[in-house]
């Protein structure tokens, strides 16, 4: 995992430069926090030298840099500053031990944001030209340490306004440059439906975090296996995207396939088949596809039989068995049966033993609604009488 130390220049009793409503220590902390949060979201291992308005001596600041991840060349150090001296534009200082690649990437991205660019440069210590002039480059060991000066707070040009209104854009420019330098995948800040894989992540844990299914994660990202690498960027399917494909349900605590099937007037077998489940066990946060069907359904009640239900809905026992993939004619109270639409209609023919209440119950309506639809003045029925159901 890439390692980055973000240094907010100055702080505490050392305000840095100030002028035109800009105090350097305040802006460097805001910029540093922004970069820290963005890089962390993108999967990098990031630490800061200061997170509050505290005073740090050069020695303490360097110690925090080196203590963060160790004194190694794979650690990037970005020290943030605001310039003064009447100039205009951004510049980056890099160490004698390093190349200018990252510095120029940062300048290029800042230029893309409309900032004027001065230069990327090194500066030598006059008393010993083999050493860097600035302590952030000189004393930070083998790390790749750069200092970014975002603009001049006493500029006669446009720096003052840009620093006040566009500092977030400039911080994002540094984020883009770092990601490009490390050859990682950049995800724009506005794309909240992406996730960068971190240590200990799995497809299951990510799916649970975002209330999506592992299958949809794999499909959306074109994955053929469940193997992930730290730093991989996954597109997270949104609920809206899933609903455009099929109705979905997110499993909650206490759920079972039976309860969900009852709720959506479907069967456990159909849920298992539609979701390619190997068992009826569920996980909280798991996403289930819910079958969409134009068929009517009926929930089995005490005393029901397939013959009675078939009679009620003008269909046959064989058709009910076939439509519901039944292995026998035995029924369970609460079981949901699909009723074939070809046999369903908006009318019902009264049979012996029927009552308005029974017919209403069987068709998920009320006796008063049936009376209203059929202009009935009483609940008395005649065998062969045709009733409107809706």
| pLDDT at residue 280 in the model | 86
Tell me, what DSSP letter sits at residue 14?
Answer: B
- pLDDT cut 70: percent of the chain above it: 92
> Tokens in use for 176?
């883009």
Lowest mean pLDDT, pick from 69-78, 81-90, 152-161, 367-376: 367-376
Percent pLDDT > 90 in the chain is: 45
The residue to which tokens 């004027």 are assigned:
116
Place of tokens 């770092």: 178
Site of tokens 């971190």: 198
3-181 and 296-388 share one fold: no
The residue-averaged pLDDT of 152-178 equals 95
* pLDDT class of 240 with cuts at 50, 70, 90: very low
Of 33-42, 81-90, 315-324, 361-370, the least confident: 361-370
Residue 243 confidence class, pLDDT cut points 50, 70, 90: very low
CATH 3.10.350.10 fits 194-290, yes or no: yes
In this structure, what token pair is assigned to residue 15?
A: 């305000």
DSSP code of residue 343: T
Q: Which CATH architecture has domain 296-388?
A: Roll (3.10)
How confident is the model at residue 242, as a pLDDT?
Answer: 44
pLDDT at position 115 over 80: yes
**pLDDT in the model for residue 285:** 74
Q: What is the mean pLDDT of residues 366-385?
A: 80
Here the contacts of 352-357 (C-beta below 8 Å, separation 24 or greater) are 352/383, 354/381, 354/383, 355/379, 355/381, 356/381
Q: Which band of pLDDT confidence, cut at 50, 70 and 90, is reported for residue 319? A: confident
Examine the pLDDT at 324 and tell me if it is beyond 90.
no
According to DSSP, residue 348 is labeled E
pLDDT confidence of residue 343: 42
DSSP letters, 106-127, are HHHHHHHTT--EEEEE--EETT
Helices then strands, counting H and E runs in the chain, come out as 14, 18
Task: Count CA atoms closer than 13 A to 346's CA, side-chain side.
Answer: 4
For residue 42, the 8-state DSSP code is T
- What pLDDT, on a 0 to 100 scale, did the predictor assign at position 323? 79
Tens-digit pLDDT profile for residues 19-57: 999 999 999 999 999 999 999 988 899 999 999 999 999
Please say if the pLDDT value at position 246 is more than 70. Answer: no
Whether the CA torsion 47, 52, 58, 64 is positive or negative: it is negative
Rounded Cα distance, 87 and 138, in Å: 25
**Tokens 């509050």 sit on residue:** 52
| E strands, 231-318, in order | 233-235, 247-250, 287-290, 296-299
**Using an 8 Å Cβ cutoff, are 163 and 150 in contact?**
yes
pTM of the model: 0.55
φ and ψ at residue 298, rounded to 5 degrees = -140, 135
> Which residues pair with residue 80 across a beta bridge?
8, 148
Residue 191 confidence (pLDDT) above 60? no
Alpha-carbon distances of 258 from 196, 213, 334, 362, rounded to whole Å:
36, 19, 9, 21
CA distance 280 to 269: 9
Q: In b/e form, how buried is each residue of 262-273, taking b as 16+ CB within 10 angstroms? A: bebbbbbebbbe
* Among 388, 223, 361, residue whose Cα is nearest residue 300: 361
Say which CATH topology domain 3-181 has.
Aminopeptidase (3.40.630)
All residues at 6 or more sequence positions from 326 whose CB lies less than 8 Å from its CB, including other chains: 306, 320
Helix (H) or strand (E) holding 163: helix 159-181
Asked whether 84 and 40 are in contact (CB, 8 A), the reply is no
Q: How many CB atoms sit inside 10 A of residue 25's CB?
A: 24
Using the CB atoms, write b or e for 162-178: b if 16+ within 10 Å: bbeebbeebbbbbbbbb
Distances (CA, A) of 299 to 194, 268, 335: 42, 13, 6
Residue spans of the domains in the chain: they are 3-181, 194-290, 296-388
Quick one: tokens of 324?
A: 């519901």
């Amino acid at each position: 995992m890439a390692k980055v130390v973000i240094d907010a220049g100055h702080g505490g009793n050392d305000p840095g430069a100030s002028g035109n409503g800009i105090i350097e220590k305040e802006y460097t902390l805001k910029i540093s926090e922004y970069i820290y949060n963005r890089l962390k979201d993108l999967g990098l291992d990031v630490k800061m030298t200061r997170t509050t308005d505290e005073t740090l001596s050069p020695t303490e600041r360097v110690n925090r840099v080196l203590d963060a991840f160790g004194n190694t060349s794979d650690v990037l150090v970005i020290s943030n500053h605001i310039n003064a001296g009447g100039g205009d534009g951004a510049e980056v200082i890099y160490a004698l031990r390093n190349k200018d690649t990252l510095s120029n990437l940062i300048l290029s991205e800042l230029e893309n944001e409309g900032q004027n660019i001065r230069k990327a440069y090194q500066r030598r210590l006059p008393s010993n030209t083999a050493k860097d002039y600035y302590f952030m480059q000189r004393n930070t060991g083998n790390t790749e340490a750069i200092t970014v000066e975002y603009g001049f707070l006493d500029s006669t040009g446009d720096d003052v306004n840009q620093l006040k209104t566009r500092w977030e854009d400039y911080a994002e420019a540094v984020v883009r440059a770092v990601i490009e330098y490390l050859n990682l995948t950049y995800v724009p800040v506005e794309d909240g439906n992406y996730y960068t894989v971190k240590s200990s992540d799995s497809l299951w844990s990510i799916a649970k975090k975002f209330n999506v299914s592992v299958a949809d994660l794999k499909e959306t990202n074109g994955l053929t296996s469940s193997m992930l690498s730290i730093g991989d960027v996954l597109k997270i399917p949104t609920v809206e995207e899933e609903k455009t494909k099929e109705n979905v349900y997110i499993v909650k605590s206490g759920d079972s396939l039976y309860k969900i099937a009852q709720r959506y007037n479907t069967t456990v077998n159909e849920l298992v088949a539609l979701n390619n489940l190997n068992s009826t066990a569920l996980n909280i946060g798991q996403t289930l596809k819910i079958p969409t069907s134009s068929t009517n359904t009926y929930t089995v009640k005490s005393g029901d039989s397939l013959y009675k239900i078939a009679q009620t809905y003008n269909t046959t026992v064989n058709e009910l068995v076939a439509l519901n993939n039944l292995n026998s004619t035995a029924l369970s109270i609460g079981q949901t049966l699909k009723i074939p639409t070809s046999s369903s209609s908006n009318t019902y023919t009264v049979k012996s033993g029927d009552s308005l209440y029974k017919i209403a119950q069987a068709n998920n309506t009320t006796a008063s609604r049936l009376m209203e639809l059929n202009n009935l003045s009483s609940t008395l029925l005649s065998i062969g009488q045709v009733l409107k159901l809706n």
